[in-house]
Chain A
Amino acid sequence: MKENAASTVVFILLLFLNTNLLNGQSLPGKPEIFKCRSPEKETFTCWWKPGADGRLPTNYTLTYRKEGETFTHECPDYKTGGPNSCYFNKKHTSIWTIYIITVNATNQMGSSSSDPRYVDVTYIVEPDPPVNLTLELKQPEDSKPYLWIKWFPPTLVDVRSGWLTLQYEIRLKPEKAAEWETHFAGQQTQFKILSLYPGQKYLVQVHCKPDHGFWSEWSPESSIQIPNDFSMKDATVWIFVAVLSAVICLIMVWAVALKGYSMVTCILPPVPGPKIKGFDTHLLEKGKSEELLSALGCQDFPPTSDCEDLLVEFLEVDDSEGQQLMPAHSKEHPGRGVRPTHLDPDSDSGRGSCDSPSLLSEKCDEPRANPSKFHTPEGLEKAEKPETNVTQPQDPQSTSVEGKIPSFHASGSQSSTWPLLQSPSLPYPRSSYHSVADVCKLGLGTPGAASALLDETDTHALKPSQTIETGGEGKAAEQRESESFRSKTDQDAARLLPQDKTPSISARPLEYVEIHKVSKDGALALLPKPNENSGWAEKTSTPETSKEYSKVSRVMDNNILVLVQDRRAQDLAPFEEPAKEAPPSLPQNPAEVDLASFPAAPSNCRLQLGGLDYLHPTGFMHSFQ
């Protein structure tokens, strides 16, 4: 029995539940207040969304509580706002007060409440659209035609008392257009449109916004048809454009007239002819070599400051006044670092002067205190700039040069010219190209030939002037070019044929000699090549600097210097090359050779293997032969 009763009860409950579930009846779903809005900051309305109603008739009630009050009120008006709404009239609306509003859904099964919504009327103001939008086409006689749009604020909003301040915005478009053209109208209730297409039908709308609220909806469209003869004369614009373009044309004509030539040259610059700054070809014709070469002076080209930087040292041959290449010993330099300038104020004047000392380099590993046989004015010049590689005493070369000196005379003339090399006071070697040109010119002996050579060498000379600044590699490359150039021109000229006559050649590494000067009788004044190792920071790698020098490998019988060809200088074909031939050691002849003390005698000489691209010796050897 008890079991039966229990099971019956359970059965009935289950049945009840089942039927309910089958019917779908349940508690109402939770409603949700989705919007509250005030059209004029005096009343407001809230709308809610019912939840699932559980298949049962559901009753909705709205209750609210106000800030500062404790009791709960019910919605005063469910009708005015439409279904599922609550309208609060003026009496029930307080501004600057928070309302806590809740909606309850009740049905047979029970009730459920929405989440409370906190509403302050101050911040939910959204007015109605403006009303009475009128459009009117106006075509006054003496001014442009326009479309006049007028409207009125929404009826509920109290603008007169200043309770709300409205701002308006209109938009219009031709009927078929896709995009609206919007204009902000401020607080005025009218607007004029000036740019309209004739023959079109226009649609216009307006909406408004309160001073601290939301934009209203757009008003209903108003339309107007623009007649076809609606003329929009823009004559003033065209007149303005015409005047402006006339003015511009006048200005351009005037500018062209005034500066026609310079403009033409600006647009089509004249093709420059070859020219050397300061070089006066007339001087060449007159044979005034000094002025000519002074024009090519080293002031700019290359700049004196970079003279010391020159990695290339030129064999400077000075033919000036037929002076001996052996100036007095008095010209010898006190020591390193003495600039040649005191002998020749314009160290780069390009003039070979009789001051150029002949130089024989000393062995590089000999102490500097040793009386070096050679002046290396150039080296001394460069001694000012320790970082250059020219400041070194030509120790390593001295002996070799000395050894070669006897055989150096291409013309086989007096060996007494060799002492030139030993004389202390040869003029400073010029490391600039002009000195080479110099040398060549002098060697050739004729102004015409000289000019020809100069011309040829000039172009090359010009180039190195730039490369001198750039550094060793550049210089070396340039010089190699110029060397090659010269070598080509002078290739068939002298060949320094090495001779076997190498008196007292000791086994020494090859050393470089700069031919400092070539006298008229073919004597070469040699400068020991400065030893790059001695102490300055290597600016360039040794191989590069070696390109500048013509390495004398040995001295041949007939006083010809064998110059070593640089491995990389392909065009130094005429040179024989034993790169590693032991340089002859030259007898030290203190009596004859005035060796300036070289700066920074290096302990180890840098071998200039691979010869040089410096072909000057051949150039003037040719002339002397």
Chain B
Amino acid sequence: MDSKGSSQKAGSLLLLLLLVSNLLLCKSVASLPICPSGAVNCQVSLRDLFDRAVILSHYIHNLSSEMFNEFDKRYAQGRGFITKAINSCHTSSLSTPEDKEQAQQVHHEVLLSVILGVLRSWNDPLYHLVTEVRGMQEAPDAILSRAIEIEEQNKRLLEGMEKIVGQVHPGVKENEVYSVWSGLPSLQMADEDTRLFAFYNLLHCLRRDSHKIDSYLKLLKCRIIYDSNC
């Protein structure tokens, strides 16, 4: 009788001990939680930040490419827009590396600020792109849905990049350099040919710039995280 009671007690004590130890262990072993937006001292690792950024940039370029192809197929056939879309991107004023050697020679802080500049330059055009595509007659859903998604993901990528910059070289107050876009009046032209060319040009530049950002980020990730040994 007595032994039974004591064994029961021992059992419950053991259970309690196990429970407490589990809680403690879980707490220490658990991976760092994803940072809620606005948290200041969040400890997401740089590797995770870069992984997420690369996934986003890859996704954004895929969407841009599809959107451009869709528009080209549907509206731009036989209009010879490509001949006019030479040297007409608003971000060409930003100096960006034009091949692999140049990109590898640029210091990663500079490259990061270039990326940030391009991303910021696209905030405004993407917003207006969504508005104007919506206003198109028979707004094609394939284009509109992608435009909306790109606008959303671009904002998230910008936030992620700012976090990366905060971790790679914290404390540096960078100048927010970006290109101003002034193509809105062309998007709203009454003349259909002019308006369609404005859209074509915008989508063409978006496809190119999203590819640039994707390439630079992948370079940076392999350089910073994997020490150029991807």
Contacts and interface: CB of A to CB of B under 8 A. Distances in A.
Interface string B96-128: 101111001000000000000000000000000
Interface string A127-163: 0000000000000000000000000000000111111
A162 B226 CA distance: 10
A42 B104 CA distance: 13
Interface in A56-115: 67-68, 90, 93-98, 100
Given A96-B211, A118-B82, A212-B61, A160 B100 contact: no
A212 B86 CA distance: 22
A475 interface: no
B212 A96 contact: yes
Residue in B96, B98, B101, B221 with the greatest tally of chain A CB atoms within 10 Å: B98
A159 B230 contact: yes
B153 interface: no
A373 interface: no
A93 B99 contact: yes
A68 B86 CA distance: 7
Given A98-B86, A163-B218, A212-B65, A158 B100 contact: yes
Given A160-B230, A162-B219, A163-B218, A97 B98 contact: yes
B23 to A, nearest CB: 37
A165 interface: yes
A211 interface: yes
A130 to B, nearest CB: 16
A622 interface: no
A604 interface: no
Nearest to B216: A162
A41 interface: yes
B223 interface: yes
B215 interface: yes
A122 interface: yes
Contact of A165 (B85, B104, B218): B218
The size bracket of the interface on A is: 20 to 34
A163 B212 CA distance: 11
B101 A90 contact: yes
Residue in B83, B87, B215 with the greatest tally of chain A CB atoms within 10 Å: B215
Interface string A361-373: 0000000000000
Interface in A1-49: 41-42
Residue in A93, A160, A163 with the greatest tally of chain B CB atoms within 10 Å: A163
B58 A211 contact: yes
Interface in B192-230: 208, 211-212, 214-215, 218-223, 226, 228-230
A42 B86 contact: no
Contact of A212 (B211, B229, B230): B211
Contact of B211 (A93, A122, A161): A122
Name the prevailing secondary structure of the B interface residues: helix
Given A95-B99, A122-B211, A162 B83 contact: no
B45 interface: no
A158 B230 CA distance: 10
A134 to B, nearest CB: 22
A94 B218 contact: no
Given A161-B228, A163-B215, A67 B86 contact: yes
B131 interface: no
A186 to B, nearest CB: 14
Name the prevailing secondary structure of the A interface residues: loop
B230 A42 contact: no
B98 A160 contact: no
A442 B104 CA distance: 115
A161 B223 contact: yes
Nearest to B103: A163
A96 B98 contact: yes
Given A42-B99, A94-B98, A161-B228, A68 B92 contact: yes
A120 B58 CA distance: 19
A68 B58 CA distance: 27
A160 B83 contact: no
Contact of A160 (B92, B101, B229): B229
A382 B182 CA distance: 86
A68 B219 contact: no
B100 A163 contact: yes
Contact of B87 (A41, A67, A90, A118): A67
A474 B184 CA distance: 78
Interface string A158-178: 111111010000000000000
B27 to A, nearest CB: 34
A625 B42 CA distance: 110
Residue in B62, B85, B218, B221 with the greatest tally of chain A CB atoms within 10 Å: B218
Nearest to B220: A162
A161 to B, nearest CB: 5
Contacts of A159: 230
Contacts of B87: 67-68
Contacts of A93: 99
A43 to B, nearest CB: 10
A173 to B, nearest CB: 32
A569 B86 CA distance: 98
Interface in B159-200: none
Contacts of A118: 82-83
B191 to A, nearest CB: 24
Nearest to B85: A98
A161 B208 contact: no
Contacts of A212: 61-62, 65, 211, 214
A240 to B, nearest CB: 33
Residue in B100, B218, B226 with the greatest tally of chain A CB atoms within 10 Å: B100
A463 to B, nearest CB: 62
A160 B222 contact: yes
Contact of A161 (B83, B86, B100): B100
A427 to B, nearest CB: 77
A41 B103 CA distance: 13
B113 to A, nearest CB: 18
A162 B61 contact: no
A212 B62 CA distance: 8
Contact of A122 (B58, B104, B208, B226): B208
Contacts of A100: 86
Nearest to A69: B87
Contacts of B82: 98, 118
A357 to B, nearest CB: 78
Contacts of A96: 96, 98, 208, 211-212
25 contacts: A42-B100, A67-B86, A68-B87, A90-B99, A94-B98, A95-B215, A96-B212, A98-B86, A100-B86, A118-B82, A118-B83, A160-B222, A160-B228, A160-B229, A161-B100, A161-B104, A161-B219, A161-B222, A161-B230, A162-B228, A163-B100, A165-B230, A211-B214, A212-B62, A212-B214
Given A95-B99, A100-B86, A160-B230, 5 more contacts: A118-B82, A161-B222, A162-B222, A162-B223, A162-B230
A-B complex: 5 closest residue pairs judged by Cβ atoms: A162-B222, A162-B218, A94-B98, A162-B230, A162-B219
Interface of B: 58, 61-62, 65, 82-83, 85-87, 92, 96, 98-101, 104, 208, 211-212, 214-215, 218-223, 226, 228-230
